[in-house]
């Protein structure tokens, strides 16, 4: 079929096709439980969270629903700035880390609920909130349905982040190891599906240009495990050679990595009640 008009494009269908061509399958509860501690360590103090909050500009009287909250990357700093934060995530380990951190920081306005995108949130007692966020957590089988769900639970505003291109994956590392990288659909599908839904979305970009520092090469290598799991000996050697090629020695004995790829996230926000006429 040849397309002549923008309206002929079915973005949900294109998104499904692009999903099917991805290099990896979405992770289940067990995978996220296993990754919870290392993910929490890596994202505890992050330039990403600072950039997200700077764009969000939270107000003190807001109630916030954080979908796919993880270990509280945003929920914890947000709780200090808003009235309440309700966190949902299907990984009990992520929520346990979040609850522990909230207690240690004396934040008593955070609630956690072990819920999946697939659960019936209303039936589980979840109510609407002023703001709904889904940060780096749009790992869903049906993007249109997920966005409609966010709208349903947002009284005033929704804010999500979605990958731009390869997102956090380093294409040069994949090329060095010799594995193909098909990152799947990125933010442009999300923006177009929102347009089809009549939502007036604003898009901004979070570019993570910070340089990561590691004690040694082994620690830097471990940083790539989530991206390139189960490397064999030959692949490991190739990855080590790649890391050496982008590593610079620092005065304090640590090494800094300077990959060419800058991980970039699209920050997309809209008001569910303001629609295109
Ligand atoms: C990449 S982490 C993002 C965490 C946090 N929002 C952030 O930006 O750092 C994705 C989170 O989504 C959760 N998640 C993935 N699939 C999910 C699903 N189907 N239902 C609920 N949570 C899910 C994972 O457990 C994980 O905590």
pLDDT of residue 211: 78
> SS3 sequence, 70-97?
CCCCCHHHHHCCCCEEEEEECCHHHHHH
The reply to whether ligand 1 has any atom less than 6 angstroms from the CB of 224 is: no
pLDDT of residue 1: 57
Residue of 35, 89, 115, 208 best suited for mutating to test ligand 1, as the one with most atoms within 8 Å of CB = 89
pLDDT of residue 37: 92
Is 29 strand, coil or helix?
helix
The ligand 1 atom nearest the CA atom of 116 = 20
201 torsion bin: left (phi>0), alpha (psi -120 to 50), beta (else): beta
pLDDT of residue 246: 95
The ligand 1 atom nearest the CA atom of 94 = 27
Distance CA 170, CA 197 (A): 32
The reply to whether ligand 1 has any atom less than 6 angstroms from the CB of 37 is: no
The reply to whether ligand 1 has any atom less than 6 angstroms from the CB of 162 is: no
- Count Cα atoms within 13 angstroms, Cβ side, for 166: 18
The pLDDT profile of the chain, 277 residues, written as one tens digit per residue, is 566 788 889 999 999 999 999 987 788 999 999 999 988 887 777 899 999 999 999 999 999 999 999 999 999 999 999 999 999 999 999 999 999 999 999 999 999 999 999 999 999 999 999 999 999 999 899 999 999 999 999 999 999 999 999 999 999 999 999 999 999 999 999 999 999 999 999 999 999 987 788 999 898 998 898 899 999 999 999 999 999 999 999 988 899 999 999 999 999 999 999 998 8
The reply to whether ligand 1 has any atom less than 6 angstroms from the CB of 89 is: yes
5, two tokens: 């008009």
CATH topology of domain 6-210+261-270: Rossmann fold (3.40.50)
Distance CA 40, CA 52 (A): 17
Distance CA 187, CA 167 (A): 10
137, two tokens: 């957590």
Strand ranges in the chain using DSSP code E only, listed in sequence order: 63-67, 84-89, 110-114, 129-135, 154-163, 202-207, 213-214, 247-249, 255-257, 264-270
Cα(199) to ligand 1 centroid in Å equals: 24
Distance CA 113, CA 129 (A): 14
Cα(7) to ligand 1 centroid in Å equals: 32
Q: What is the layout of strands, in order, in the sheet containing 247-249? A: 213-214, 255-257, 247-249
Is 58 strand, coil or helix?
coil
Nearest CA residue ID for atom 13, ligand 1 = 68
Distance CA 86, CA 110 (A): 6
Contacts by 51-60 with C-beta closer than 8 Å and gap 24+?
Answer: 51/206, 51/208, 51/267, 52/135, 52/159, 52/161, 52/206, 52/267, 53/77, 53/78, 53/81, 55/159, 55/204, 55/206, 55/267, 55/269, 56/131, 56/133, 56/159, 56/269, 58/82, 58/131
Cα(69) to ligand 1 centroid in Å equals: 6
Cα(1) to ligand 1 centroid in Å equals: 37
Residue with tokens 């979840």: 126
The reply to whether ligand 1 has any atom less than 6 angstroms from the CB of 71 is: no
Cα(150) to ligand 1 centroid in Å equals: 15
Residue of 34, 70, 136 best suited for mutating to test ligand 1, as the one with most atoms within 8 Å of CB = 70
| Domain boundaries, given as residue ranges, for the chain | 6-210+261-270, 212-257
pLDDT of residue 56: 98
Q: Distance between the two ends of the chain, CA-based, in angstroms?
A: 29
Cα(97) to ligand 1 centroid in Å equals: 13
pLDDT of residue 26: 80
Residue of 35, 91, 137 best suited for mutating to test ligand 1, as the one with most atoms within 8 Å of CB = 137
pLDDT of residue 180: 94
Angle at alpha carbon of residue 97, lines to 160 and 266, rounded to 5°? 15
């Amino acid at each position: 079929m040849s397309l002549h008009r923008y309206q002929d494009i079915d973005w949900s269908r294109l998104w499904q096709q692009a999903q099917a061509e991805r290099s990896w399958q979405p992770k289940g509860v067990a995978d996220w439980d296993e990754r919870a501690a290392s993910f929490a360590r890596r994202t505890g103090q992050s330039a990403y969270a600072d950039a997200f909050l700077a764009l969000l500009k939270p107000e003190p009287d807001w109630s916030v629903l954080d979908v796919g909250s993880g270990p509280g990357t945003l929920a914890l700093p947000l709780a200090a700035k808003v009235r309440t934060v309700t966190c949902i995530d299907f990984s009990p380990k992520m929520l346990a880390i979040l609850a522990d951190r909230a207690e240690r920081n004396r934040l008593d306005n955070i609630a956690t609920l072990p819920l999946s995108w697939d659960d019936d949130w209303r039936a589980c007692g979840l109510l609407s909130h002023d703001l709904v966020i889904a940060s780096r957590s749009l790992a869903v089988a049906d993007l249109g349905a997920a966005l409609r769900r966010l709208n349903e639970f947002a009284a005033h505003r929704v804010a999500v982040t979605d990958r731009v291109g390869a997102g956090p994956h380093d294409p040069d590392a994949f090329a060095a190891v010799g594995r193909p990288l098909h990152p799947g659909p990125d933010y442009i599908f999300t923006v177009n599906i929102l347009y089809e839904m009549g939502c007036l979305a604003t898009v901004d970009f979070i570019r993570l240009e910070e340089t990561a520092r590691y004690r040694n090469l082994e620690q830097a290598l471990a940083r790539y495990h989530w991206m390139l799991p189960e490397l064999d000996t030959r692949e490991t050697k190739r990855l080590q050679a790649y890391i050496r090629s982008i590593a610079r020695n620092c005065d304090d004995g640590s090494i800094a990595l300077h990959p060419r790829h800058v991980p970039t996230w699209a920050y997309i926000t809209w008001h569910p009640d303001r629609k295109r006429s």
